[in-house]
């Protein structure tokens, strides 16, 4: 992981699911962060396709990473559904806080 990717991951730990009050990394919603030269690509998922925060979380993630990596990089968010999200993807503390462990 390079410095840009590391800063992006750190920034994503400050993006919270507004319904659960847990960050999207701990929830297991971030599948990948890639530094592709002039662009940082985020692969994220949501807990369900009909998730009520389907517009909020991707935009919050994009904005947080854009601020962390600076103006020389564009940030693209890709919503992916494969593999489907499951509670098994959560960090242990997040799973426990939500009663999954």
User: In this predicted structure, what is the pLDDT of residue 70?
Assistant: 93
38/20 Cα distance (integer angstroms): 33
pLDDT value for 95: 93
- pLDDT higher than threshold 80 for residue 2: yes
What structural domains and CATH numbers belong to the chain? 3-90 (3.30.300.130)
pTM, whole model, 2 decimals? Answer: 0.92
Q: What is the pLDDT, as a whole number, of residue 54?
A: 77
Report long-range pairs for 20-28 (Cβ below 8 Å, ≥24 apart).
20/98, 22/94, 22/97, 22/98, 24/57, 24/61, 25/91, 26/90, 26/91, 26/93, 26/94, 27/89, 27/90, 27/91, 27/94, 28/85, 28/88, 28/89, 28/90, 28/91, 28/94
> What is the structure's pLDDT at 37?
93
pLDDT digits (tens, 9 = 90+) for 26-82: 999 999 999 999 999 999 999 888 777 778 999 999 999 999 999 999 999 999 999
């Amino acid at each position: 992981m390079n410095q840009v990717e590391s800063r992006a991951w750190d920034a994503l730990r400050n993006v919270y699911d507004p319904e659960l009050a847990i960050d999207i990394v701990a929830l297991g919603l971030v599948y990948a962060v890639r530094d592709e030269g002039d662009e940082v690509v985020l692969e994220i998922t949501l807990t369900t396709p009909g998730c009520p925060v389907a517009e909020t979380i991707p935009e919050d993630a994009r904005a947080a990473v854009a601020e962390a990596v600076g103006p020389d990089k564009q940030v693209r968010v890709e919503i992916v559904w494969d593999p489907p999200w499951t509670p098994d993807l959560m960090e242990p503390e997040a799973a426990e806080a939500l009663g999954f462990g």
